[in-house]
Amino acid sequence: MIISGSADGLGLQAAQELIAGGHEVVLHARSEPRGREALGAAPGARGVVIGDLASIEATRELARQANQMGPYDAVIHNAGVGYRSPGRVETVDGLSQLFAVNVLAPYLLTALIEPPGRLIYLSSGMHQMGNPGLEDLQWQGRPWDGPQAYADSKLLDVVLAFAVARHWPRVLSNAVEPGWVATKMGGPDAPGDLSQGAATQVWLATSQAPEATVSGRCFHHLQPQATHPATADHCLQDDLLRRCAELSATRLPSAAAPARAVRPEPVLGEG
């Protein structure tokens, strides 16, 4: 397994649970100091890859590192940024940082990392408030609204997961709403339990239960969730893939086959 954004929060929690369950896990951090911290917090991890997902070039390098350590049974696209910044933050590529990290980076990693058996994309219940329009993805033509930009990005994460599920039928691709939990993004007052927030990612990455071996679904606490109606729009799915391909100069390969089948292993907490 490889988990983006696993130096802390939900990504680290999922990594620790997977390692405890006997799975090989590759961590990811945006810098070498953060990578050393991640390895210290998740003893038993196979290794760590380094790359700042706010940069297209660094994300490409991250994918190269990941492929050197692969292939993988599952890739968990956990990394993300929130909306607490007082204004629009622009990346080195001239993109909205929120869009670059939350949407474009998982797209690019999906396109560049050898296809696994399973893909898990982290969304949010806030995706239900997202605007599916793609006309101003970078928030250059409207006043910045952090919560709305975040909701939009989380909606597009579900759209991306469902688009990949449709285009790659031999790979299980799903989205997860982990709930409001006490991470750096969620804040210390979040009511949700961190371990419960990571449980669904672990389950989707490893379980052989029929409920987990599906594709094109969204889950919250191991239960399927209804999603914004736009997530089922094939035209929107393909438009998002096209826009991401244009921005990253990388197309999603067609009809990908997983690098290997997911092994039937016991799952932590599964009876």
State the Cα angle at 111 between 105 and 112, rounded to 5°.
Answer: 90
Catalytically annotated residues: 150, 154
Q: Which of 180, 179, 178 is nearest to 204 (CA)?
A: 178
Cα 170 from Cα 128, distance rounded (Å)? 28
**What is the CA 64 to chain-centroid distance, rounded?**
18
Strand order in the sheet with 74-77: 47-50, 26-29, 2-3, 74-77, 118-122, 172-176, 218-220, 223-224
